[in-house]
Amino acid sequence: MFKNRPNTPQTHLETTLIASGARIEGTIRFKGTLEIEGEVVGDILAEGDGRAMIRILESGRVIGEVRAPMIVVNGAVTGNIHSTDHIELAANAAVNGDVHYNLIEMVKGSHVNGSLVFASEPMNAVPEQPQTIEPE
């Protein structure tokens, strides 16, 4: 738990780290803060009360969709990004996919190979599960 990290709101007390050299395959659902220094192949979906944060650090790589209220990218993402609150694309951010945002901050050096899509209405961080209808 990193309570005194700079630029981390005190509401983010639960931190999960995917360390450099680690590779995770599959969908990740999380609450709190998720920091990625390694590689994730699969979707990353925030759950909870709308205060979740994902940080994709400089050595971090994600291949899949990313959905969370707050997202900071300083690594590489191949897939669409959906932020319901705030997204920051730092100097080393490389996004190959569409970025859906409510509020965006792009630092000199970051780049997006895709569309920037303003979402005027907040979207769900985690898409609702499809309902199945059983035959009678």
pLDDT in tens, 63-116: 999 999 999 999 999 999 999 999 999 999 999 999 999 999 999 999 999 999
What lies within 8 Å, CB to CB, of 112 at 6+ separation is 89, 93, 95, 99, 106
15-39 confidence digits (pLDDT tens): 999 999 999 999 999 999 999 999 9
pLDDT digits (tens, 9 = 90+) for 42-63: 999 999 878 899 999 999 999 9
pTM for this model (two decimals):
0.80
Instruction: Check if the beta carbon of residue 102 is closer than 8 Å to that of residue 86.
Output: yes
Task: Answer positive or negative: Cα dihedral of 114, 61, 72, 89.
Answer: negative
- Distance, in Å, from the CA atom of 31 to the CA atom of 15, rounded to the nearest integer, reads 8
